[in-house]
Structure 1
Amino acid sequence: MNQKTIIGAGAGLALALGMTAANAAPAWQAGDIIVRGGATWVVPDEKTHGKSGTLAPALQGTHVSVGNDVKPSVTLAYMLTDHIDVELLGAWPFKHDVSLSGGALGGTRLGSIKHLPPTLSVDYHFNTGTPFSPYVGVGMNYTIFFDEHVDDQAKAAGVTSLDLSNSFGPAAQVGLDYLIGDHWLVNANVRYLQIDTNAHVRTAGGGRTKVNLDINPWVYTAAVGYRF
């Protein structure tokens, strides 16, 4: 089962549960504040597009690969109504290895990058009349790249710097809270973020190359939360 099937099935389950318990007492109330803390796993679904500049001929048939990473994360949500919240996702900076695959330069390790992906979403919570509280949401993501590091292998090939431009794009998620009493809960959710960036590579002698890169990660989170 692929990732799109999983998120689609989750959305379908959330809708079905919400429809079958439409008259039950709501799990949440307007004014509730929900804080969740846990671990988030970022799995890029990267695609390399246009290449221009000094290294463009050598990069024909070559793709940029971005590794996975897991870091602590936190979300803060405020219930606007009994069903709708506004939620902010934050996390410890993620670090990803960056390398080349395919073509003449395949197997070359470029280095590593760090990023912060704050994401603001509006979520709809379905009413099941049980401790299970599924939800779906959409929002926007702003990804900040920093601390790009060039690997020794890339330096030996003449690469002097690597810079990625910040990105602004849509986000979507499916999640599930399980309430334990009046305040505590456990949570699991899956997000899809659209992260489109330009990688700027500088080489010895003043060479410059730009690569259009879609990172577009699947983001998986498991957390424990508290309702105030």
Structure 2
Amino acid sequence: MARSLSTTAYAIAIAAAFGAAGTAQAASAGDWIVRGGLTTVSPNEDTNGVDGELGAALTGTEVAVDSDTQLGATVGYMITDRFAVELLGATPFTHDLSLDGGALDGADLAEIKHLPPTLSLQYHFDTGSAFRPYVGAGLNYTLFFSEDVDSDAKAAGVTDVELDDSVGLAAQLGVDYELGNRWLINADVRYLQIDTTAEVSTATGSTDVDVDIDPWVYTIAVGYRF
């Protein structure tokens, strides 16, 4: 997570430095902006409750979710010279779930994949330079799939793990730096509200574990405006 934060801050600092030195044509109403680059999902997870036959074994246990980086892309449309709508997409993210604390401390639970399409309404600031910051807010829908139980969990009797899909709020802060000829570079950070329930099944029953993943999402990209 620290590496993602420093990378994003570095990109924004470079854009700010160049933005002070030059100007470029701003995006305006009717423009489309497409961006593509690298997106990192860094979970800020919290385990809220356990209900089911494994309740005793999982008492005091937190579900840990690791980070992953994939190809990310956004498509935005300028409704006015200042307001835009944007859709975030990416190739599927893969995360390892592990257990911290409790009777199963240190056990790997499962590998899961997810897609987090996010629709945001943005406001783009007019700085009078090539440096164009923006803020956004919207909704995220996270689709979980391909849950694969780890060998550690299988040894403990777990036969299946399934995560519920999630709908939550999203917030965003980003910056475009206009390179000219409609090309730009972009740095972006988001906070996504992703609350899910993991159903952990054994041969004799199942246990529901409520997990708030709530990740920070960092993107560095190249874009084109048309």
Aligned residues: 211
Match of 1:131 in 2: 130
Q: Tell me, which stretches of 5 or more residues in structure 2 are unaligned?
A: 17-22
Deviation at 1:36, TM superposition (A): 0.1
2:212 is the alignment partner of 1:180: no
Deviation at 1:157, TM superposition (A): 0.8
Equivalent position to 2:208, from 197, 207, 210: 210
Deviation at 1:182, TM superposition (A): 3.3
Given residue 57 of structure 1, which amino acid in structure 2 is its aligned partner?
A: A
Q: Tell me, which stretches of 5 or more residues in structure 1 are unaligned?
A: 18-23
Q: How far apart, in 1, do the equivalents of 2:101 and 2:155 lie? A: 19
Match of 1:227 in 2: 225
TM-score by length of 2: 0.89
User: Which string of whole-angstrom CA distances, capped at 9 and with x for unpartnered residues, describes residues 51-90 of structure 1?
Assistant: 0001011111110000100000100000000000000000
Deviation at 1:26, TM superposition (A): 7.0
Structure 1 segments of 4 or more deviating over 2 A? none
Match of 2:148 in 1: 149
Deviation at 1:124, TM superposition (A): 0.2
Given residue 133 of structure 1, which amino acid in structure 2 is its aligned partner?
A: R
Higher mean C-alpha deviation, range 104-113 or range 141-150 = 104-113
Deviation at 1:215, TM superposition (A): 0.3
Match of 1:21 in 2: none
Against the structure 1 CA distance between its residues 223 and 102, is the aligned structure 2 distance closer, same or farther, given a 3 Å change threshold?
same
Q: How far apart, in 1, do the equivalents of 2:110 and 2:86 lie? A: 33
Deviation at 1:102, TM superposition (A): 1.1
Deviation at 1:107, TM superposition (A): 0.1
2:91 is the alignment partner of 1:92: yes
Give 1:1-228 correspondences, 5 Å limit.
27-204=26-203, 206-228=204-226
Contact 1:94-1:115 at 8 Å conserved across structures: yes
Q: How far apart, in 2, do the equivalents of 1:189 and 1:92 lie? A: 17
TM-score by length of 1: 0.88
Report the 3-state secondary structure (helix = DSSP H, G, I; strand = E; otherwise coil) of the residue aligned with 1:106.
Answer: coil
User: Which string of whole-angstrom CA distances, capped at 9 and with x for unpartnered residues, describes residues 96-131 of structure 1?
Assistant: 000000122110001210000000000000000110
Against the structure 1 CA distance between its residues 131 and 224, is the aligned structure 2 distance closer, same or farther, given a 3 Å change threshold?
same
Deviation at 1:41, TM superposition (A): 0.4
Report the 3-state secondary structure (helix = DSSP H, G, I; strand = E; otherwise coil) of the residue aligned with 1:105.
Answer: coil
Deviation at 1:42, TM superposition (A): 0.3
Report the 3-state secondary structure (helix = DSSP H, G, I; strand = E; otherwise coil) of the residue aligned with 2:154.
Answer: helix
Q: How far apart, in 2, do the equivalents of 1:33 and 1:110 lie? A: 42
Match of 2:20 in 1: none
Contact 1:118-1:143 at 8 Å conserved across structures: yes
Report the 3-state secondary structure (helix = DSSP H, G, I; strand = E; otherwise coil) of the residue aligned with 1:59.
Answer: coil
Given residue 118 of structure 2, which amino acid in structure 1 is its aligned partner?
A: T
Q: How far apart, in 1, do the equivalents of 2:116 and 2:139 lie? A: 10
Contact 1:25-1:127 at 8 Å conserved across structures: no
Report the 3-state secondary structure (helix = DSSP H, G, I; strand = E; otherwise coil) of the residue aligned with 2:57.
Answer: helix
Contact 2:25-2:180 at 8 Å conserved across structures: no
Contact 2:138-2:171 at 8 Å conserved across structures: yes
Contact 1:26-1:127 at 8 Å conserved across structures: no
Q: How far apart, in 1, do the equivalents of 2:104 and 2:142 lie? A: 28
Q: How far apart, in 1, do the equivalents of 2:99 and 2:198 lie? A: 13
